[in-house]
Structure 1
């Protein structure tokens, strides 16, 4: 008997040979666990590794799947995420195969997911290697960041309406790890904000414009900058702040370079 991160029981009656992944970061993790041959279906946003979309069946996006395409793939398991996929998607997929739902807020949640995949897909050795490397890089980064002063930031994810990372999400967890004081930490999840109030709501030292899901450009940085005091705007790699799993093996080195840029 297996469980997912929502403590839902999964009944797996046979060895898993066919996997459909509806979450880009989890797709990348599967490949790094050595499971590429077993992955039969992915989303159009599963861009790592770059060649994967040429070799696997695209089953839609994370919020809009092609359920009939998934059914034809005859998967043994479908992988979802509480934030990325809707309850309706999970319910529809459960009519086809067991569905594992991840629920990620912290690094510990990430490590738990890797452990669960190690058990589910009988790749415990590979899973252990990845978690050990992540822990090593994490401890190294904590030493690096230890004496650095906190910096007030606003992390933007969308425009029209303007949306930022608040609290109770993985992005905010990594911002905190970076000694970034999120000025919208009092707001839940991914709130809409009024740009003209940014100084009243915290007046950040740095405005971080994520590369995803919105493609921010220089004119947007200028637009935001008009309402800050003297905040420096930085374009950041959104994957490093929001993708979990094996992407963390690259994230901590990226964070080091980011801090060296803004010292």
Structure 2
């Protein structure tokens, strides 16, 4: 089998891979939902779903730092990476072990294509189609749900000390748009640092979302942000719902509906 990954790299597979190392949490979840948990031999310490996976499968490091010898000893047939989550150096060193597939996700379309390709690679096409159909249904229903809702100006915070936000050319930004949230940092790229004092004086923001990951924002941080944006509604957000792709999207739109409902209740 010959195919291209999402960096347009050609990958050749002589047979269906039976031993998989996943270096991306959302892709680990997708693999398990495809029925491939038994084929996983290595995951990262951030692969939190399903909850038992790190107890049953070898942990080979994080997404930015890996234990390469541990991965070699697992004798994988394929290693699954992501352009944003993993460094180029990780991809290159993994290529010395076995075939490496790299995803690159900016939209729902990209996520569905990855699911389809995994279905082809691992002989799980039927299950992949079911997941794709479920996500497409959720997207259609959500767009109908939000059809009469106003567009809100939103800032999505991912880190503090320094303060950082999700900007353009990110999957988070794409999901914000689906939620009818206009990203006030859309003129910036990726995950820029911002000056809270300057932005607090210059920006008019309807809503600030404090993500649960990668920085674990809690209730205590709301007051800290409120000092800079006293007229803005500030809420905690489930970072997995806004940044995980793959099968997580089946659940994400239920969460987005709840978020909108909570926002309306807070403003009423």
- Shorter chain as denominator, the TM-score bin is over 0.9
1:169 aligns with 170
User: Paired residue for 2:148?
Assistant: 147
SS of alignment partner, residue 256 of structure 1: helix
- Specify every segment of 5 or more residues in structure 1 that has no aligned partner in the other structure, as ranges: none
Q: Which residue of 1 aligns with 2:53?
A: 52
CA distance in 1 between counterparts of 2:189 and 2:237 reads 22
Q: Which moved more, 1:184-193 or 1:5-14?
A: 5-14
Is residue 24–residue 46 contact of structure 1 (8 Å, CA) maintained in 2? Answer: yes
Give the alignment of 1:1-263 within 5 angstroms: 1-263=2-264
1:201 Cα shift?
Answer: 4.3
Inter-partner Cα distance in structure 2 for 1:18 and 1:256: 38
Aligned equivalents of 1:240 and 1:215: distance in 2? 14
Indicate the SS of the match to 2:200.
Answer: coil
- Tell me if the contact between 1:203 and 1:229 (Cα under 8 Å) persists in the aligned partners: no
Separation in 1 of the partners of 2:206 and 2:141? 26
| Equivalent residues of 2:212, 2:218 under 8 A apart | no
Alpha-carbon RMSD: 0.9
- Runs of 4+, deviation exceeding 4 Å: none
Q: Contact 2:22–2:40 at 8 Å: present in 1 too?
A: yes
TM-score in terms of structure 2 length: 0.96
Contact 2:61–2:67 (CA<8 Å) still a contact in 1?
yes
Distance (whole Å) between structure 2 residues aligned to residue 73 and residue 157 of structure 1: 34
Indicate conservation of the 8 Å contact 2:219/2:236, yes or no. Answer: no
* Structure 2 gap segments, 5+ residues each: none
Following the alignment from structure 2 to structure 1, what is the Cα–Cα distance between the partners of residues 110 and 201?
Answer: 34
Tell me the SS of whatever aligns to 1:198: helix
CA contact (8 A) 1:184 1:201 kept: no
Q: Tell me by how many angstroms 1:202 deviates.
A: 2.5
